[in-house]
């Protein structure tokens, strides 16, 4: 008599009998079933390993062969049936495969037709937008402005859709940039360091001069950004981990304004100081917004003017354009945007790039902008058209985030990290590196900046700050007081260096 496993239906190699149901099982299968369920698979009663009885079988006995396998004609008939079954199954599979191919081909044709329709609609949309921009230019308009809002605090997100990936800047802004570019470019070959600028020999004599302590809240502590006024000596703006922007007067030793509104730490701050116009304080934050505060000449206070909310990721870059009427922002959402500071409206937002943007800088002549990425690449765009002008990527390096960059004042060079602990000077005319400066394996770069004369550049990092001479690449001064430096700024004529360390702003300069 043959036994068959109640689970597999096959003759068991090691048969056991259930005391409860009387069924025969393969030992390994029933033990696994008991471990997972704890019951008899046929009766559903509780079953344990101790309820199983081994069945002993004679080693001499063998299961009888089926009648169909006892003669050659029967075996041939069995093989013929199996062959016929296999051929029928193969034919059915071929038919099913042919049907699936037809369905796939039909789906691909439909997808191709839909893509062609979408491409045509996008082309028509872009043509309509260009026509609208030209019409607004002819009529003397600049798109939606804050005039209709009575100059009140306007959320730029309300006009965000109008700046969604256009073909380039509106014609009137291109004209402003071209005029400024020609004005600045005409003097580039003759451009020299301003009279009275400091020299390398004098920088080597720098000493710590002043410390402004206890700026921003103690928790979370830390200054993240620093901007120095060019119109009011000693006035500077800071942004902090405490979500606040502060304006401070060093000479009077007092806070001029504490500007609140951000909900996360501030990444960047900047000052727009234009003759005949109100001073603007600009900030960019991890809360995906940028904010603008304006100085009221009558009251002397700074009031919130606008909030930019068109970006879907952290705002990681901020600049004021040389024309003084445009602001640029970069974001981790893989786009950058340009905003009109007169109308307080966005005029351009780029199409999403291949990578997030981690920093932003503008060329001193105003025609180019550069963005850093977390994949080590620096991309340079024509600000007027949004077209990619160049792409700079360090060779043979582990990918790192380009978190800071700076154009030289003569416009020929770009300073940026070449790794976490090195900086490179790129020659923009040849798109090649002039040199790479190793700061030490433990150094981590936080900020790089050229001074106005382009004779020096500074590097701020976790081990303080350092100043290097351009062309010779020699280190001429090191600032280690206060520990880690998050930001660095050069004072007028390079005679001072300002840096933020923790909750302090420190000033180094010529000895008195």
DSSP β-bridge partners for residue 173: none
Kindly list the averaged pLDDT for each block of 10 residues, start to end, along the chain of length 512.
81 89 90 90 88 77 62 84 88 91 91 91 84 56 37 37 59 91 75 81 91 87 92 92 93 91 95 90 96 86 92 96 95 96 93 93 92 94 92 84 92 92 92 92 94 90 94 92 93 92 93 83
pLDDT at position 1 is 59
What size, in residues, is the chain? 512
Enclosing H/E stretch for 29: helix 27-37
Sheet with 345-349, edge to edge strand ranges: 315-320, 326-331, 336-340, 345-349
pLDDT at position 155 is 39
Domain boundaries, the chain: 1-59, 77-138, 156-509
Sign, CA torsion 255/259/264/267: negative
- CA 355 vs CA 299, 334, 367, 404, 448: distances in Å: 44, 6, 23, 16, 22
In sequence order, which residues have a C-beta less than 8 Å from that of residue 246 and are 6 or more positions away?
A: 215, 216, 237, 238, 240, 255, 257, 258, 259
Helix 171-185 / helix 72-138 crossing angle, nearest 10 deg: 80
Q: Are 18 and 49 in contact (CB under 8 A)?
A: no
Q: Are 173 and 340 in contact (CB under 8 A)?
A: yes
pLDDT at position 164 is 42
How is 301-357 classified by DSSP, letter by letter?
-EEEEEEE---SS-EEEEEE-TTSSEEEEEETTS-EEEEETTTTEEEEEPPP-SS--
According to CATH, the superfamily of the domain at 1-59 is Zinc/RING finger domain, C3HC4 (zinc finger) (3.30.40.10)
DSSP β-bridge partners for residue 392: 378
Q: How many CB atoms lie within 10 A of CB 60?
A: 5
Q: Are 309 and 155 in contact (CB under 8 A)?
A: yes
According to CATH, the superfamily of the domain at 156-509 is YVTN repeat-like/Quinoprotein amine dehydrogenase (2.130.10.10)
Distance of CA 423 to the CA centre of its chain: 20
Report H helices in 139-216.
171-185, 200-203
pLDDT at position 69 is 63
- CA 76 vs CA 71, 79, 80, 407, 428: distances in Å: 9, 5, 6, 87, 83
pLDDT at position 474 is 93
Q: Are 133 and 171 in contact (CB under 8 A)?
A: yes
pLDDT at position 448 is 96
pLDDT at position 135 is 56
Sheet with 15-18, edge to edge strand ranges: 24-26, 15-18, 52-54
Structure tokens at 399: 């990918």
HSE-CB for 171 with a 13 A CA cutoff: 13
Instruction: In whole angstroms, give the CA distance from residue 505 to residue 485.
Output: 9
Q: Are 170 and 340 in contact (CB under 8 A)?
A: no
Asked, as a colleague might, if the bond just before 177 is cis with ω within 30 of 0, I would say no
């Amino acid at each position: 008599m043959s036994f068959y496993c109640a689970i597999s239906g096959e003759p068991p190699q090691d048969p056991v009998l259930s005391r409860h149901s009387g069924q025969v099982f393969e030992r390994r299968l029933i033990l696994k079933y008991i471990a997972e369920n704890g019951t008899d698979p046929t009766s559903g009663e509780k079953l344990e390993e101790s309820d199983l009885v081994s069945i002993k079988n004679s080693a001499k006995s063998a299961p009888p062969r089926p009648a169909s396998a006892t003669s050659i004609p029967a075996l041939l008939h069995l093989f013929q049936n199996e062959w016929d079954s296999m051929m029928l199954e193969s034919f059915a599979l071929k038919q099913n495969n042919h049907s699936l191919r037809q369905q796939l081909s039909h789906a691909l044709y439909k997808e191709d037709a839909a893509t062609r329709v979408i491409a045509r609609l996008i082309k028509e949309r872009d043509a309509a937008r260009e026509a609208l921009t030209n019409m607004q230019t002819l009529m003397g308009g600049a798109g939606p402005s804050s005039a209709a809002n009575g100059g009140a605090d306007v959320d730029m997100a309300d006009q965000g859709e109008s700046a969604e990936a256009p073909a380039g800047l509106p014609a009137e802004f291109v004209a402003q940039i071209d005029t400024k570019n020609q004005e600045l470019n005409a003097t580039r070959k003759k451009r020299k360091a301003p009279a009275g600028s400091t020299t390398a020999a004098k920088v080597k004599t720098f000493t710590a001069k002043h410390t402004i302590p206890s700026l921003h809240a103690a928790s979370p502590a830390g200054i993240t950004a620093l901007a120095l006024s060019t119109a009011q000596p000693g006035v500077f703006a800071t942004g902090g981990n405490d979500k606040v922007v502060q304006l401070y007067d060093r000479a009077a030793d007092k806070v001029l304004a504490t500007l609140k509104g951000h909900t996360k730490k501030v990444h960047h701050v900047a000052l727009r100081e234009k003759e005949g116009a109100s001073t603007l304080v600009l900030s960019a934050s991890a809360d995906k917004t940028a904010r603008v505060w304006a100085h009221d000449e009558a009251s002397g206070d700074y009031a919130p003017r606008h909030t930019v909310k068109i970006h879907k990721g952290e705002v990681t870059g901020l600049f004021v354009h040389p024309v003084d009427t445009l602001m640029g922002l970069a974001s981790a959402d893989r786009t950058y945007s340009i905003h009109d500071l007169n109308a307080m409206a966005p005029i351009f937002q780029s199409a999403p790039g291949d990578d997030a943007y981690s920093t932003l800088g503008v060329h001193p002549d105003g025609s180019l902008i550069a963005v850093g990425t977390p994949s080590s690449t620096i991309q340079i765009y024509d600000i007027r058209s949004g077209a990619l002008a160049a792409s700079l990527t360090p060779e043979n390096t582990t990918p790192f985030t380009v978190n800071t960059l700076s154009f030289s004042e003569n416009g020929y060079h770009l300073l940026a990290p070449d790794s976490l602990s090195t900086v490179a000077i790129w020659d923009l005319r040849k798109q090649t590196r002039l040199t790479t400066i190793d700061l030490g394996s433990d150094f981590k770069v936080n900020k790089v900046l050229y001074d106005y004369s382009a004779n020096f550049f500074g590097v701020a990092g976790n081990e303080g700050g350092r100043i290097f001479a351009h062309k010779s690449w020699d280190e001429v001064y090191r600032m280690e007081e206060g520990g880690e430096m998050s930001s660095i700024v050069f004072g007028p004529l390079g005679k001072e260096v300002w840096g933020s360390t923790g909750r302090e702003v420190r000033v180094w300069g010529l000895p008195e």
